[in-house]
Amino acid sequence: MSLSAPKFAHPLPLHHRSNGSPMSFHSFTPFLGSTQKLRFITSVKLNARSNSTVVSVSDAVKSKNPKSATNLLITKEEGLVLYEDMILGRFFEDMCAQMYYRGKMFGFVHLYNGQEAVSTGFIKLLKKEDSVVSTYRDHVHSLSKGVPARAVMSELFGKATGCSRGQGGSMHMFSKEHNVIGGFAFIAEGIPIATGAAFSSKYRREVLKEADCDHVTLAFFGDGTCNNGQFYECLNMAALWKLPIVFVVENNLWAIGMSHLRSTSDPQIWKKGPAFGMPGVHVDGMDVLKVREVAKEAIGRARRGEGPTLVECETYRFRGHSLADPDELRDPAEKAHYADRDPISALKKYLFKNKLASEQELKAIEKKIEEVVEEAVVFADESPHPPRSQLLENVFADPKGFGIGPDGKYRCEDPKFTEGTAHV
């Protein structure tokens, strides 16, 4: 495919609403490989029934008030935190590839290489009480939220010390302590869960009068999900009830082997937000600083009770859909184009250019993370497998049901159980 960015026509003029106020749109910029600032929708006047205005997420990078005369978007400390988190994600996923090919992991393993700016840009702004709902590409989201690398690696190894006790594997990370509600294997199935978590936060604050409950939920999903009905239903509910949620589309341009441009009638996903009465914004997902500025405003809106936001992050995965994917469908020139825009290299360049970090400081971070990841592998490898008695835990609500026999012992401990001959 050609790398020249396709131009999208301006939308047809829309009819005026019943209150006489037209819906107006900002002009579009190229989609693929765009290095433009943010593309966003201007204020949209809703119908007369609600009489409210949807305030757009602004072109934050362009209009942000500078922190200093140098107009820096981050401090030195913030820059080092962002760099360390992105390096952790990259090094961890590279190690996962090694362990997968050595036979330490089984099933499908989907890596996040190339998309680190999205996870870091959003999740490092959250509080511990805030929730994250992920997809099958969930390792790095969990790491960014604070789940220890050893717990994530152990889960990938199927060990009892994993964050899901070895029963979830690559696609089902979970941590109650860190409010990682889960990775979800089927596309869109996590969005209703995230919407429910956001509803819980609102209910606790407004009905149960828990004044300090300003918790926000982030729902991560890909471009392929955005043609799924659950996506639209949840946008509607979130906007209707003004839920504290941010819908984060990680548009890596490919749904397994299907190009985003071929699979949807309008590739600009961000426009679906205003259709439901919430702000929609497109951001360069290969630039952690741009992502972070948009995330600040979107998360802030949710925390203030101003409702949801739809954010489309245009990013790119550097590996195949999973480690079982030979990645032969994508044009090598396209892959090279995005490899040149590596988000970690871009942040490193920014830190050096603005004298926020030295080469020595960044190398020290990299060495630290290498040791963390290597220790995680050793820990996972030496950890025990889950006991057979754990097999049917959390499956049946009745403690004397199918999973446990009259003698109080787990039926799976009966040798005949796995042969299919045990009396049930």
User: Can you tell me the distance from the alpha carbon of 233 to that of 276, in angstroms, rounded to the nearest whole number?
Assistant: 10
The number of folded domains in the chain is 2
Are residues 314 and 394 located together in one domain of the fold? no
Chain centroid to CA 306: 21
pLDDT on residue 294: 98
Compute CA 393 distance to the chain's CA centroid, rounded to the nearest angstrom.
Answer: 29
Distances in whole angstroms, Cα of residue 179 to Cα of each of 65, 128, 190: 32, 7, 14
- Same domain membership, residue 402 and residue 344: no
User: What is the model's pTM?
Assistant: 0.80
200 found inside a domain = yes
Whole-number pLDDT of residue 397: 58
CA distances from 302 to 285, 305, 380 (A): 21, 5, 37
pLDDT in tens, the chain (424 residues): 333 333 333 332 323 333 433 333 333 333 343 333 444 443 333 333 333 333 334 444 444 444 444 589 999 999 999 999 999 999 999 999 999 999 999 889 999 999 999 999 999 999 999 999 999 999 999 999 999 999 999 999 999 999 999 999 999 999 999 999 999 999 999 999 999 999 999 999 999 999 999 999 999 999 999 999 999 999 999 999 999 999 999 999 999 989 898 888 999 999 999 999 999 999 999 999 999 999 999 999 999 999 999 999 999 999 999 999 999 999 999 999 999 999 999 999 999 999 999 999 999 999 999 999 999 999 999 999 998 878 777 776 554 445 666 777 766 666 666 555 545 4
Is residue 365 in a domain? yes
Cβ atoms of residues 93 and 139 within 8 Å: yes
Residues 392 and 369 in one domain: no
> Are 92 and 129 within one domain?
yes
Same domain, residue pair 317 and 411 = no
Q: Give the pLDDT score at 29.
A: 37
**Domain range for residue 287?**
76-386
Q: Are residues 394 and 294 in the same domain?
A: no
Q: What is the pLDDT of residue 141?
A: 98
